[in-house]
Structure 1
Amino acid sequence: MAAAAAAAAAPSPAPCFPSTRHTLPGLVSVRVSRRVKVAVAVADPAPAFNSVTAFAPATVANLGPGFDFLGCAVADASLSLGDTVTATLDPSLPPGTVAIASVTSPSRPTLADRLSRDPLRNCAGVAAIAALRALDVKSHAVSIHLTKGLPLGSGLGSSAASAAAAAKAVDALFGSLLHQDDLVLAGLESEKAVSGFHADNIAPAILGGFVLVRSYDPFHLIPLSSPPALRLHFVLVTPDFEAPTSKMRAALPKQVAVHQHVRNSSQAAALVAAVLQGDATLIGSAMSSDGIVEPTRAPLIPGMAAVKAAALEAGALGCTISGAGPTAVAVIDGEEKGEEVGRRMVEAFANAGNLKATATVAQLDRVGARVISTSTLE
């Protein structure tokens, strides 16, 4: 652990993403003239708790035609569909550092052994370090305990869930001082090392609901508020098959015809409109209409075409690949059809892809990363 903490203490390169223009807690903006401002350093923030446990949900990125710029958060009632991080003040570590005390995965015991305890090589560790740096914490150190509820390489935003939970827990440990954009950027620093510089997983993991990533420079996220009456549920069917993000991104076409671009753009715009209007039928139709990314990735997931067909035949409003896959996601209005749609999709993976699969019915998670418990200072 000492080696990990020392590694975390090493100076890190400047982030390659743009500033969100929010004044960080360790700085006070002082006006000294009508045209000049000076940032004066003040004491780093004091801890608000001894430890904080935060949960971050799974996410569905792309949503069909929204490649790299649309995503939403999904969760089940038991909060098992996501990752949990406990951040604890640790006086045994050098100030300003992070150490990973443990990684567990109750439902997948072997998964924990695959994850590094080096905070510079673990998504939760990188995000925790970025959050400490954003808070300008220099006098305290943090150890984190990561509990994985999501499988790796599933297309459900596993790395984003770890990063979001870690950033949220560390921020809450010091009084929840960071703006949501800064939390997303802390998580994005982690994501860029794993799956590339895109926020369609980490943004909804932090903010909840549907999120549109408008731009990175300047950094601009647009939460898409759907009407409360929208009873959108998702049937998530994950086969026993790992689809590394790097491999799935390598399969993308290098050139896109103008007519394909126009059609996909119109479907993505329709999806945004449908979310804002609460039109579940149009959400499903638009999600099913990706003509660029899904056609290149589906052949890499055994049985995917048959799974999509089975979902639609069973009454789903739409179906596509979740993120980079291999999870297939079907949209239903309400959860009544969820069990039947999931059963048919699992059967299709078995029959057409010779893959075992598990189905989970989840709902739109409108909260995102949240604190679920705290331990007060002694």
Structure 2
Amino acid sequence: MAAAAATVPSPATSFPSTTRKATVLSLRVSRRFKVAASAAASPGPDPSPAFKSVTAFAPATVANLGPGFDFLGCAVADASLSLGDTVTATLDPSLPPGTVAIAGITSPSRPHLADRLSRDPLRNCAGIAAAAALQALGVRSHAVSLRLAKGLPLGSGLGSSAASAAAAAKAVDALFGSLLYRDDLVLAGLESEKAVSGFHADNIAPAILGGFVLVRSYEPFHLMPLPCPPALRLHFVLVTPDFEAPTSKMRAALPKHVAIKHHVRNSSQAAALVAAVLQGDAGVIGSAMSSDGIVEPTRAPLIPGMVAVKAAALEAGALGCTISGAGPTAVAVIEGAEKGEEIARRMVDAFLSVGKLKATATIAQLDRAGARVISTSSLE
């Protein structure tokens, strides 16, 4: 088992590490997080552990939601909680105090995936977020080992890195009594996101908070959860082709300049989407999601069959369809689950017939809870 310093590094990679080096708790993190951490962590004694171990789950997320590039997102999950990641954080007296280690990684539905993820906590999304949470808590006398169960594929556009980070931050916080504020948890997760996909919170914020979230600003840091009426039965048809779309590649394709008319239209559609969420208007949510005129047109051609998949979803009765995050997952929105299977079949068929890609489909619902503790082990 590799024990490494709880130091937030620069870029994450996916190769395994055999390093056992441990150093002091010295986090090189963003100024935003230092401000939050200094406010959250008391200068006094370490917080006492509340449990021996904690297991937390964090759901998948759909970022951008069409016109809301980098500032809108929502959490989605299925009833079995397979659409997300799970992290178990355990007090580990065998490690140097103030450090984090990755004790194991599994991927029940994709066994090969575990081998692609680093067990070096400084190069693993869960490890980075756990280290950041330890600093925010002011933990110096205890060490934590993590076990990560990946339910999400890499490079899918479903917030895979954010789910690992959110579950780890939540588990570590709960291990020491759930002392962190909401924003501190998000900022801890952002340290991980920054290492793999850039400093943007449209995945990590809904992964932790649940529901729809608007990222208003970073200076100052301001998140706005968007409560929608409980009666809204919003479901999502998520169709993921056998095709990896690295966030870096999909960001490189974005236009460097945007015409004012396109900016105005996208702004109006994003505003309509926010209003529709608050009002519980599924029809407008769907049509606004389908109306991105800036990002989707540049990314869709990079995902074989995406244009045809969107057309197939709308023809089958979806209220709207767009690319989830950076892709390649296509997300269609429906009210209720009745049409879900037929829409999913049409979308899968379109990926195969037009894009020559096999695809898998999941029908999920809006996850209003976000990251949550699912089990604990008491102190002996």
Range class of TM-score, shorter chain:
over 0.9
Corresponding residue of 1:205: 207
Name which of 233, 236, 240 aligns with 2:235.
233
Task: Look up the equivalent residue of 2:119 and give its one-letter code.
Answer: R
Partner of 1:4: 4
Alpha-carbon spacing, 1:89–1:130, altered in 2? closer, same or farther (3 Å): same
Partner of 1:249: 251
Task: Find the partner of 1:323 among 309, 322, 325.
Answer: 325
**Which ranges of 4 or more aligned residues in structure 1 deviate by more than 6 Å?**
none
Change (3 A) 1:90 1:19: closer
Which stretch shifts more, 14-23 or 114-123?
A: 14-23
Which residues of 2 match residues 145-184 of structure 1 at below 5 A? 145-184=147-186
Preserved CA contact (<8 Å) 1:8 1:99: no
C-alpha spacing 1:209/1:8, structure 2 compared with 1 (3 Å): farther
Which residue pairs with 1:38 in the alignment?
none
Q: Secondary structure at the match of 2:121?
A: coil
SS of 1:99 mapped into structure 2? strand
Superposed, which structure 2 residues align to 1:1-378 within 5 Å? 1-5=1-5, 6-7=21-22, 9=24, 11-17=26-32, 24-27=39-42, 41-378=43-380
TM-superposed CA distance for 1:24, in Å, is 4.1
Gaps of 5+ in 1: 28-40
User: In the alignment, is the contact (CA less than 8 A) between 1:26 and 1:43 conserved in 2?
Assistant: no
3-state SS of 1:85 partner: strand
2:2–2:103: 8 Å Cα contact kept in structure 1? Answer: no
Counterpart Cα distance in 2 of 1:26 and 1:10: 14
Does the 8 A contact of 2:38 with 2:136 survive in 1? Answer: no
Q: Distance in 2 between matches of 1:177 and 1:10?
A: 19
Partner SS for 1:220: strand
Q: Secondary structure at the match of 1:64?
A: coil
Q: Residue by residue, what CA displacement relative to the aligned partner does 1:7-65 show, whole Å, maximum 9, x if unpaired?
A: 574522142435665874542xxxxxxxxxxxxx2101000000000000000000000
Q: What amino acid maps onto 1:332 in structure 2?
A: I
Distance across 1 between alignment mates of 2:124 and 2:29: 19
For residues 23 and 213 of structure 2, the distance between their equivalents in structure 1, rounded to whole angstroms, comes to: 31
Deviation by residue 1:326-361 (Cα, 9 ceiling, x = unmatched): 000000000000000000000000000000000100
Q: TM-score, normalised by structure 2?
A: 0.94
CA contact (8 A) 1:62 1:200 kept: yes
Q: For the residues of structure 1 that align with 2:120 and 2:233, how far apart are their CA atoms?
A: 41
CA distance in 2, matches of 1:217, 1:376: 40
Aligned residues of 1:20 and 1:182 also touching (Cα < 8 A): no
SS at match of 1:113: helix
Distance (whole Å) between structure 2 residues aligned to residue 245 and residue 25 of structure 1: 32
Which one-letter code corresponds to 1:63 in the other structure? L
Q: Matched residue of 1:130: which SS?
A: helix
Percent identity of paired positions between Structure 1 and Structure 2: 83
8 Å Cα contact 1:18/1:217 also seen in 2 = no
CA shift at 1:107, angstroms? Answer: 0.5
Paired AA for residue 163 in structure 2: A
Cα deviation per residue 1:114-141 (whole Å; 9 max; x = unaligned)? 0000000000000000000000000100
Q: Is the 8 A contact 1:7 1:120 kept in 2?
A: no
**1:189-241 deviations in Å (ceiling 9; x for gaps):** 00001001100000000000000000001000000000001000000000000
Counterpart code for 1:58: A
Distance change in 2, residues 1:121/1:52 (3 Å): same
Structure 2 distance, partners of 1:236, 1:191, is 22
**Alpha-carbon distance between aligned partners in 1 of 2:36 and 2:118, rounded to the nearest angstrom:** 33
Report the AA paired with residue 53 of structure 1.
Answer: T
* 8 Å contact kept, 1:25–1:44: no
Matching residue's letter, 2:332 = A
Q: Compared with structure 1, are the counterparts of its residues 345 and 45 closer, same or farther at alpha carbon in structure 2 (3 Å cutoff)?
A: same
Determine helix, strand or coil for the equivalent of 1:254. coil
- Distance in 2 (alpha carbons) for counterparts of 1:8 and 1:278: 51
Q: What letter corresponds to residue 254 of structure 2 in structure 1? A: L
Preserved CA contact (<8 Å) 1:67 1:293: yes
- Cα distance in 2 between the residues matched to 1:265 and 1:106: 41
Q: Determine helix, strand or coil for the equivalent of 1:361.
A: strand
